[in-house]
Amino acid sequence: MERMKELISQLNTAAQAYYGGGATVMSDYEYDRLYDELSALEQETGVIISGSPTRRVGYEVLSGLNKIRHEQPMLSLDKTKETERLASFLREAEAAGMISWKMDGLTVALRYNNGELIQAATRGNGEIGEDITHNARVFKNLPLKISYTGELRLRGEAVITFDEFERINSQLPPEAQYKNPRNLCSGTVRQLNSEVVAARNVKLFVFAVLDAPFDKKSECLEWARGLGFDTADYRLVTSDTVATAVEEMKNEVSGNAYATDGLVLTYDSIEFSKNLGATSKFPKDSIAFKWADELAATRLTEVQWNTSRTGLINPVAVFEPVELEGTTVKQASLHNVSIFESLRLGRGDEITVYKANMIIPQVAENLTKSGMEEVPARCGVCGFDAEIIQANEGRALYCTNPNCRARLISSLGHFVSRNAMNIEGFSEATIEKFVERGFLGNYCDIYRLGDHAEQIKQMDGFGEKSVENLLAAIEQSRSVGLPNFIHALGINHVGLANARLLCNYFGHDISRIRAAAEEELLEVAGFGEVIARSLRKYFNDPKSAELLDTVLPILKFEAQTEKAEQVLAGLIFVITGELSRFKNRDELREYIENAGGKVSGSVSGKTSYLINNDANSPSSKNKKAAELGVEVITEDEFRQKFME
């Protein structure tokens, strides 16, 4: 009984951290393991203690959003990790099924009436959710008006792509960054200010239609597509074909633009599903299939604490190399102090590791739990005090030294990176060597490296040609787009996308941007008080102003190009593989979007072209394109079709 109480307390604490604020205090693997242990104890003893998460559907609604009672309960799903369980699920009922991705986002209930979106709500505790209608109206792909004028209720999953997750996190200070796209989406969709939501490109994929005049769920989804909704990809299966479908979809996971933590199998017949009813927690017509995580046992060799350019000190578990999902893995981020402490790690501990969503390496469990490793009291680079603060994703560790060498090296690495000044051949290892020699103390010193050319040629790993190439790349970077330069400065909350918005508003005039008052910055589309305040703080800082005054006279900002003719309007592209004619995928993406096209992260029936210079590649994207009849074109073919 005491163990059950302990498990309930741990699970409820973890659930409240996530659902109440989008934070993570334990891994998904650890949560599932403890949940399964509690469930087994309840079955064994026949006792269920009040507050048990096995009897709770969602979370208690605690935010400042208005509450909405669902007309029909939104229950969670029973789950399995066994393919045979899916086959027996269909076999026992002698019914056909529909299997689709279990997207890892936030479930949303939608209501339309007379063709208008009138309500959107989170699942909440299954009975009562939160009103997010103001945010749903700025979802990137959700139709606000449809041709169907009757009352329509739908269920969907709000998600944020991996690419968007990286972009948004890069614009947030470390204490506000999110661990994964699911947490980011949860925190975003439940914002009080829809301006924030609009800037984060949330999308919604419908997976159920409650009021459509059809007999089958698959027909409902096809009908919803015709109304303008994006819907979850699905396959129709029987008890004989479901195992093959699971295996095929498992092989496609790495190519998905969104996080998926499994699959959902449901009976295709609507009438049959209704007749089955539900238990107190689960509907009887559907079941979730979670990937059976490929676990590997290994031994922890050390925990590294890496100081970033913002001062955040990140814990990383380093372990003896293991094979996971076809790749060799030897380290995994521990994300924050909270997760590090929960694992009670020590050198030599036996640990198990896996790939979350079959992609991101994670520590699943510490079998030894020696607890010998401690949170460092000082930054390992500069020796200054380290302090723990409460961050968005749990407790985080920071270096208190604003002049920490690690912060300098990391900030210079960001300055020269591809989407910033794009100085080729300027690795972080090279930067570290130059900092140690005293050649670099700030980003302006990059343009003075020619003064040290002879000394650099004498350093290990450098020679006449390599130094010439590096100096030539630095010289080439003097001509740069203003958005790239502003992104290079590393201003909190101002990544490349926001830098573009800023430059477009102020006519690509750096003088106007530097002088803009906070009130004027708030007029930029998508900018709120946090971004405006961050920009004003940066440009008001005397040290920042001095560096800008030094570097601006030696830079030439590229002229703003006119809006391209919308020759790609209505076309959707997916880009994969290496490029040779464009600098990188971002440059090609920018060209496509400027010409009216769209770029997606995954191949679907709506994809117009897959761009891949290796047309015969066995990649999952190429296979999907072949299955759907999507034309695969090379970079040169794209240029011939649309640029010449």
The catalytically annotated residue of 67, 79, 102, 216 is 102
- Report d(CA 372, CA 353) in Å as an integer: 19
Q: What are phi and psi of 536, to 5 degrees?
A: -65, -40
For residue 289 the two structure tokens come to: 């299939």
Residue 27 CB neighbours (<10 A): 23
Residue 175 CB neighbours (<10 A): 17
No. of helices (H) and no. of strands (E), the chain: 24, 24
Token look-up 């204490």 returns: 175
Of the candidates 273, 284, 229, the one whose C-alpha atom is nearest the C-alpha of residue 108 is 229
Going along 281-403, which residue ranges are E strands? 286-290, 296-307, 312-324, 327-333, 350-356, 360-366, 386-391, 394-399
Q: Is 611 helix (H, G, I), strand (E, B) or coil?
A: strand
- Report d(CA 387, CA 383) in Å as an integer: 12
> Which residues are 318's β-sheet partners?
302, 331
Question: How far is Cα of residue 539 from the mean position of the Cα atoms in its chain?
Answer: 30
Token look-up 């056909």 returns: 96
608 contacts 586 by C-beta, under 8 angstroms: no
Q: What percent helix, strand, coil does the chain show, rounded to 5?
A: 40, 25, 40
| Maximum pairwise Cα distance, the chain | 82
* Catalytic residue status for 330: no
Helix axes 162-171, 181-189, angle to 10 degrees: 70
For residue 54 the two structure tokens come to: 């096995």
Q: Which amino acid is at 512?
A: R
Q: Which residues are catalytic?
A: 102
